[in-house]
Amino acid sequence: MKNTFSLLFYLKKPKNYVAGAMPIYMRITVDGVPKELSTGKQCEPERWNAKTLRLDGKKEDARTINCHLKTIEDKVDQAHTDLFKAGREVTALSLKNKYLGVEEETHTLITAIQDHNDKVKALIGKGFTQGTLTKYNTTLKHTKSFLLYKFKLTDVVLDKVDNYFITEFDFYLRSKCGCENNAAVKHLKNLGKVIRICFANRWMTYDPFSGHKNKITKVQQVILTPSDIQGIYKKEFAIERLRIVRDAFIFCCYTGMSFIDLVELKKSEIIRGVDGSLWIIKKRHKTGIPCNVPMLPVALEIMERYADHPLCIDSGLVLPMNSNQKMNAYLKEVADLSGVEKHLTFKVARVAFATTVTMANGIPIESVSKMLGHTSIKTTQIYAKIMDNKVGEDMEVLKKKPVAA
């Protein structure tokens, strides 16, 4: 992005010139390519100093013209700085147009990402969620900080986004931002979506992700055993916040609710079904797909426990929930105090419902899929595979034991 740049003023002799004042022109040169334009001022040749590129003397008209030329010089310098900071290509023509206020149609990366995120924000509740917007905004934040760190820019024209840019951004996410592999890959995928839009709009001439490969690392799912769940459920907690987090976690273990769905779960969504028992009848926040779940005794007990809680009375919600970040942090305390040496999250509770609570007890995968509100049974089959892996691990342990006499 470096280039040579110079600006000089000179007298331009008109055609058929005989005598008198000559127009003062300026020549902008970038990388050896010049562009000329008039300053709008004139000067007699004998008063022009070719070394200082200014008028000689201290007359009022000389001071006025020299001040005008200094103002032009400052504006051209500022135009050069603005183009460079914006990551736009600096040429003699682009610099001339910038100085004149002639805006060239350019498309930049940060503007493209922001436009994409604004559209996602406008469609929250219509195919997108606040969580999705938060992820894209985080990608935008990392991209801005990368541009400033690597190129000292606040934005960059899309034509400058090449494979080197993508590779360096990948490295930056992992080294400077401390992103694990999967987090880095997700940010690159988010950026890739915006790049594909730009490519489709013909704002870019090639795909900078061509040849760049990233792979999500399979994360070993935490599987809770029946004794794990019972240990957490039976544990007595003196601190109210831990009791609430424990109860919310167990409620998810027995209903399959995601964290956001539990946060939004209203008492009005607990309805008596055709079988005469209470059901959770609601649509998933993420997909809008119904996830109708019969209430198991443990879940009913927890719901009744908070029926008279002030926050639940005021809001009409089933449980008095806090933020996901705080509650997942509190779950670590719950696990430690319950003697469960596993990393607990509300995602783990949802997996526990699919595996330990339902499929391990013979509930058909089709029913589990419907209760979880999955859009495809293939998603539910991931949990079935987890169960198979768990059986395999357990059998390996059994194989190592001595044969009974």
CB-CB contact of 221 with 178 (8 Å): no
Specify the pLDDT at position 326. 84
Q: Which two tokens stand for residue 5?
A: 């740049």
Residue 271 has phi, psi (to 5 degrees) of -125, 145
pLDDT at 397: 63
CB 194 within 8 A of CB 112: yes
pTM over 0.75: no
User: 316: which residues sit within 8 A by CB, 6+ positions away?
Assistant: 266, 267, 268
DSSP 205: S
Q: How far apart are CA 386 and CA 378, in angstroms?
A: 13
Which residues of the chain have a pLDDT value below 50? 1, 405
Please name which of 220, 182, 215, 230 lies closest in space to residue 386, comparing C-alpha atoms. Answer: 220
| CA distance readout (Å), 113 to 25, 185, 371 | 41, 17, 36
pLDDT tens digits along 228-261: 999 999 999 999 999 999 999 999 999 999 999 9
Give residue-wise pLDDT tens across range 314-336. 999 999 988 878 888 899 999 99
pLDDT, position 393: 59
CATH architecture of the domain with residue range 226-399: Orthogonal Bundle (1.10)
- Residues 178 and 72: their CA atoms lie apart, in Å, by 46
CA 84 – CA 5 distance, rounded (Å): 12
Q: Which two tokens stand for residue 213?
A: 């490969």
Residue 91: the pLDDT is 86
Length of the chain: 405
Structural domain boundaries in the chain: 5-100, 109-200, 226-399
- What's the pLDDT at 388? 62
Looking at residue 222, its amino acid is V
The three-point CA angle 225-228-229 to 5° equals 95
- DSSP-assigned letters across all residues of 355-370: IIIIGGGT--HHHHHH
